[in-house]
Structure 1
Amino acid sequence: MKPDKKIKTILVLFGLIIAFMCGFVWWKFESIDLDNDSTVVQELEALDYEKDLSNTSVISAIEGNAEFKFPLSSREIFAYTTGLRDIYIQTRFAIDKADLDEFIDSTRCDVPLSTLTVPAEIASPQFDWWMLSSAKIVKGCKGTTENFEQEVYVDMSDFEIYVIYVRGGTH
């Protein structure tokens, strides 16, 4: 066989191999059912309760999703998290009055706490632990970053233990 014929034969075989591979890939992707609900990724949904800060993995996840740090006195921690790409979180917990400033400093609030009326859609409970509607004295603040919005409400009805409510989410 002449060298030119060998090169042509190799090129033809190489072309056939590439054509076969392309056909196989097309056939494989053609068989995928993109309309089948079983291939759709379900969004995350978690409902948590922690008596204190001892379960560090859950506490870290809540802090990361809600973008704040729990003070050491934090207890009776409830959280609801949902989302897939954008995360939404609601959390409620109690702290000692003395830890309020430390907590607020860790939030996204860009103005000091101020007395406010909580909108009905925020006050009404989606969960039995979200008791903002029964708060007598509420102060709150809001903050926004490029990718995150946060609302903080502080129930100051008890003069020693404050109940904190935080709503936040990515956008």
Structure 2
Amino acid sequence: MVISLFFILPIVSIIREIGYLITSKIFGAKKSKITIGSGPKLFHLSVFEVRKYYFAYSWCSYDSLRNESKLAHIIIYASPILSNLLIALLINGLLAYELLGLPNFWNKFVFYSFYFVLFDALPIYYPDGQPSNGRVIYNLLRYGRKSDFERNDPQIDIKKTDEK
């Protein structure tokens, strides 16, 4: 349980956020940053900002996109789902062919990756009002608009916005 909480979950979160980072950069994101954790900032390394409770939360942010098309946003919001899915399938395949040691560790890793995929893909609003990536994609496809969530810090000033 401790390994899952302090090691596996943060790595799965980082993989998820790197999916955002890569695709947002492809579509011309300015000042991209991945924040890992919540609470006071511990250090900043390149595009990563690590906070005290690194295992509790993560998100990717950027100032603007060069390409603001609906397709660009669909791809950006699908990228964390796909990045976790692809890594989980790759690891699962390596486990099936017995090419990885520590199968218990990797089985937990695959489990949490699929857990992230499931709850990212469901088109829901979380209790705090934040839309899942699946919900953002659904709104883009169905209504042509993006439901987004603006945040400065998960503990400070959270507000929901709907762009038209």
Indicate the structure with greater strand content.
Answer: 1
Task: Normalising by structure 2, report the TM-score.
Answer: 0.29
Q: Which structure has greater helix proportion?
A: 2
Query: Is the radius of gyration larger for structure 1 or structure 2?
Result: 1
